Structure 1
Amino acid sequence: MPLSPIPLASLEKVGIGLRRPEDVVVGRDGRVWASDQASACAEIRADGTLRRVGKAGGAPNGINMDARGRIVIANFGLGTAPTGPLQRLDPATGTVDILCGAIDGKPLVASNYPIVDRAGNVWCSHSTSDRAASEAGLADGFVYRVRPDGGAAVMASGFTFANGLALDADESYLYVCQTMGRNVVRLPIRADGSLGPQEPYGPVLGEPAFRGATPAERARFGATDGCGFDAEGNLWVTLVLANKVVAITPKYQVVTLIHDPAGELMSWPTNVSWGGGDMRDLYVGTIRRDYVLRARSPVPGLPLVHQR
């Protein structure tokens, strides 16, 4: 299928009333969930109403599901709470457990985005321990992994504000959005589960941000936020400050798929997710709005562990 742009007019607001809706996950059963600072996650019902579940505290950020349908929440506590742990929500009961609150005795403060692999490991980005220093170039972001037995360890470090994560179809690489690096890097997953050295995946996606920019200037900002693969191997990336969604093709070409220059409808897009029977229902998290956006994707999304 051709990777064609999605008209802005075709995007539909869903889940109106959400608070800080960074991300969406769609279960195998078709139910749609969004991160929600007023609870833990909120189910977006077919009629558009919300069913809030659980209480996470802090700032529920990136979310995903494990193979049992439990929702894994990266809590970005920095600026909103003393800690930012990795949590897990049971959508049936509303119980929120902490999967990982500290590593080697150091509390997590800015967990950002989790993804679950076939073996049941949860990989999660941790953006920074000092946001102002990170924005000035401090590369203190890292990726940690929580095994099914609960063991946790830092697997890679040295990222400039580690943000969204993705796994390719055969789980041979882990992909990491570096917000301040304005790019995506990937790390090979070795046979023993460790990560190899990072390498750029595609080009730097834009220019550094600055205050007082016009819409035309913002359109060139390259800060990356979330990412996800479609079924044809294109890596979709949200450019949060540019109000854009782009894709890096397998040949490293960059295609703009959605752009809202004024940021009136799609303001600060943070993540992309797919669902529906044909995996062509696209959802875009919009952290500055009280809704998420839904559209028809030109290509199906790559099914995640909980959707297979």
Structure 2
Amino acid sequence: MRIAPDGTQSVLGRTSELNGRPWIPNGLALSARAGLLIANMGEDGGIWSLAPEGTVEPFLVSVNNTALPATNFVLSDSRGRLWISVSTRQWPISKAFYPENASDGFIIRVTEDGRADIVADHLIFANELRLDAEERWLYVAETFAGRISRFEVQPDATLGERQTFAELPEHSYPDGLCFDAVGHLWVASIVSNRILRVAPDATSEIVVEEFDRDYVENFRIKWERRALERADVVNPASRILKNPTSLAFGTDDQTVYVGSLGGDSLVTFPSSVAGLPMQAVEALRLYLPA
């Protein structure tokens, strides 16, 4: 869906199944090489390209001759490389909500010439990825570890060892990430229904939240009993945030836009700072009205 500045909406694609299985579009990125790329969180997984006329084609569905499972997120950098997160190799993905099963998430790098490799492994439910302004560090939300990890991007586009950048406050389950213009990392947390801002020194503050203690406690009890279901994550107790999963800054003001698992609209609120400008991608013009 494309939402114009005046709020009108236009559909770019209507695919609901691939190979007879549900197609669940999740993360997306604009690539100068391949246009609009979409991560499929459905069982078939992979990264798919959406053409301007609405057709969906496979872009990356296997790595090292192994089919990709449910794929979470795709990020394009200034050099045309892609960074992709896979939360877990298991299906359904809810199996990876628990510590004994959780450390099988990984990150894929696709180079400018199209070579794909796994460059980080054994992550605890790897979720959204972001690069800092200099593209020196790649940050990843490890949702069920309650932490943000980062990797130093080497000159050859390999990644250094995992570093824990920030352990988040209790009941924080990081999902979506984005940077502001002064180097702070913003984090959307499901379950606790909160947005956090993490400073370069890893200290964090809660910017906004709709914390429901009964809901969070029920989630914890079910988690300890290994009885969580998808509905426990999707259906929130909050009125507005509804389990926020993604956030981004507007390009012309200091507005934050928030998407959520349990909502059917975008939530917005003003920020005291602007966001880190996104890389201008020529491919965007293909998807704009004539």
Matches within 5 A, 1:19-38: none
* C-alpha distance in 2 between matches for 1:129 and 1:68: 27
Alignment partner of 2:143 out of 169, 179, 194? 179
* Residue type of the alignment partner of 2:203: Q
* TM-score (normalizing by structure 1): 0.75
1:38 maps to none
Aligned-pair identity (%): 32
Over residues 138-191 of structure 1, what are the superposed CA-to-partner deviations in whole Å (9 max), with x where a residue is unaligned?
A: 200000012233221111101010001110010111001001111100000011
Q: TM-score, normalised by structure 2?
A: 0.80
**Aligned match of 1:159:** 123
* 1:69 CA drift (Å): 9.1
C-alpha contact (below 8 Å) 2:49/2:59 kept by paired residues: yes
Report 1:235-250 matches (<5 A).
Answer: 235-250=185-200
Deviation of 1:96 (Å):
2.3
Structural mapping, 1:36-115, within 5 Å: 42-56=1-15, 57=17, 58-67=23-32, 70-77=35-42, 82-90=43-51, 92-115=52-75
Q: Is the 8 A contact 2:168 2:204 kept in 1?
A: no
What amino acid is aligned across from residue 196 of structure 1 in structure 2?
A: G
Q: Which has the higher contact order (CA 8 A, sep 6+)?
A: 1
1:258, distance to aligned residue in structure 2 (A): 1.4
CA distance in 2, matches of 1:151, 1:192: 13
1:268 is matched with which residue? 243
Say if 1:155 and 1:69 are closer, same or farther in 2 by CA, change over 3 A.
closer
Aligned partner of residue 133 in structure 1, secondary structure = helix
Q: Are 2:258 and 1:284 equivalent residues in the alignment?
A: yes
State which of 88, 97, 107 in structure 2 corresponds to 1:135. 97
Task: Please report how far the alpha carbon of residue 307 of structure 1 lies from its aligned counterpart in structure 2 after TM superposition.
Answer: 6.5
After TM superposition, the structure 1 stretch with the greater mean CA deviation from structure 2, 176-185 or 267-276, is 267-276
RMSD over equivalenced CA pairs, Å: 1.9
- Asked whether the equivalents of residues 68 and 306 of structure 1 are also in contact (C-alpha less than 8 Å), the reply is no
1:229 aligns with 2:190: no
Counterpart residue type for residue 239 of structure 1: S
Cα shift at 1:68: 7.2
User: Quick one: structure 1 residues 198 and 124, their matched pair in 2 at CA, closer, same or farther if it must change by over 3 Å?
Assistant: same
Pick which of 298-307 and 159-168 moved more: 298-307
Letter in 2 for 1:70: G
- What letter is aligned with 1:281? T
| Alpha-carbon contact 1:69-1:306 (below 8 Å) kept | no
Return the letter of the residue paired with 1:99. Answer: F
Detail structure 1 runs of 4+ shifted over 6 Å in the superposition. none
Q: CA deviation at 1:71?
A: 2.1
Cα deviation code 1:101-130 (max 9, x no counterpart): 011121112211111111101101000122
Residues in 2 aligned to 1:235 and 1:86: alpha-carbon distance in whole angstroms: 25
CA pair 232-67 structure 1, distance change in 2 beyond 3 A: farther
Structure 1: state its 5+ residue gaps.
1-41, 207-220
Cα deviation, 1:68-113, whole Å, max 9, x if unaligned, reads 7932211111xxxx411112223x3223222200111211122111
For residue 251 of structure 1, report the CA deviation from its aligned partner: 2.0
- Equivalent pair of 2:137/2:151 in contact (CA under 8 Å): yes
Report the Cα distance in structure 1 between the residues aligned to 2:250 and 2:162, rounded to whole angstroms. Answer: 30
From the superposition, tell whether residues 235 and 48 of structure 1 become closer, same or farther in structure 2 (CA, over 3 Å). Answer: same
Distance in 2 of aligned mates of 1:122 and 1:108: 15
1:132, 1:270 → 2: CA distance?
16
Distance 1:245 1:202 in 2: 15
Whole-angstrom distance in 1 between the partners of 2:277 and 2:124: 28
Corresponding pairs, count: 247
Q: Decide whether the 8 Å contact of 2:249 with 2:257 is kept in 1.
A: yes
Determine the C-alpha separation between the residues in 2 that align with 1:75 and 1:205: 30
Structure 2 alignment gaps of length 5 or more: 18-22, 212-236, 283-290
Quick one: structure 1 residues 298 and 68, their matched pair in 2 at CA, closer, same or farther if it must change by over 3 Å?
Answer: farther
CA apart distance, 1:292:
1.3
